[in-house]
Amino acid sequence: MMIALASKAALCATVTVLGGSSLRNIIQTSSIMKMHKAADATAVGIMVDTDGAAPQCSIPLLAQFESTQQQQSPLSIDEATRLLQAMNRNDLLHLFLASPPPATASGTWNGLLLDNNGPIMNQVSNIMTHVLFGGIQKRWLGKRLGDTKGANRFEQDIEKHGFDVTIEPSLMQPNKASLHLKYSNYQQPISLWKTMEDELRVVPNTDGKVMIGMGCLHLTGGMRNAAPFCLYQDDVAVVKE
């Protein structure tokens, strides 16, 4: 009896914590979406005000992604991925909304999970991606993208969880396009991943070799509760411990 009550209490506490953390994500995303709707970004971290002037970026890490309009040398893959891993979800959302869709993205991409608003949601992202998504001892490694279709890559040279690839308006920012990865046509009706969708955009000043992604399940809040990740086409990026 006591064990059953303790188990129920633990379950309720877990649901409450996860629900609260997801709600925090949703509120944060909604707020940032409104900011970008009110003033579209002309460059990463630079918001256009009403008279067309471009004030300096107020977020130091975002400033390092400013494009070659300022005649900076492109960031190396290592520099770009390290910067992304140092950013919090708030800054990653700003970066995503200020980034363009890829002109082409076909090829094999390596993947990294990024901050999802602190330890609780980071752990949720890790479990969902590296344990449940691929199965035990099959960590997620990235994606293989084609012109119209693709699949996720896992350890042991496994590819599964296919998706359709399309360019269409962003669910976060309907006036701008993203590369969408839609999983519904490749999942069983009751699959946990049936409502999964990713949006991808190119991180500026990386020569198109780094993309920032937002992955979500429409069943659990959609893009407003999306988890950030990045894809890169090189082997030099170092995962932050």
Asked if residue 55 is part of any domain, the answer here is: no
Whether pLDDT at 49 is above 70? no
58 or 231, greater pLDDT = 231
pLDDT by residue (tens digit) across 179-205? 999 999 999 999 989 999 999 999 998
pLDDT averaged over every residue in the chain: 82
Full residue range of the structural domain in which residue 122 is found: 11-37+73-232
pLDDT by residue (tens digit) across 120-160? 999 999 999 999 998 887 899 999 999 999 999 999 999 99
Two tokens, residue 115: 């901050």
Asked if residue 62 is part of any domain, the answer here is: no
pLDDT by residue (tens digit) across 24-42? 999 999 999 998 887 664 4
Whether pLDDT at 113 is above 50? yes
- Provide the domain count of the chain: 1
Asked if residue 237 is part of any domain, the answer here is: no
How far, in Å, are 88, 101, 138, 212, 224 from residue 34 at the CA level? 19, 20, 38, 20, 12
| Per-residue pLDDT band at 66 (split at 50, 70, 90) | low
Give me the pLDDT at residue 16, please.
54
Whether pLDDT at 227 is above 90? yes
Asked if residue 173 is part of any domain, the answer here is: yes
Asked if residue 46 is part of any domain, the answer here is: no
Two tokens, residue 98: 């200020």
Asked if residue 198 is part of any domain, the answer here is: yes
Whether pLDDT at 101 is above 60? yes
Element (H, E) at 214: strand 210-217
Asked if residue 80 is part of any domain, the answer here is: yes
- How far apart CA 181 and CA 217 sit, in angstroms, is 12
User: Model-level pTM?
Assistant: 0.83
Asked if residue 188 is part of any domain, the answer here is: yes
Nearest by Cα to 231 from 210, 201, 214, 216:
210
| Per-residue pLDDT band at 238 (split at 50, 70, 90) | very low
pLDDT above 70: percentage of residues in the chain: 77
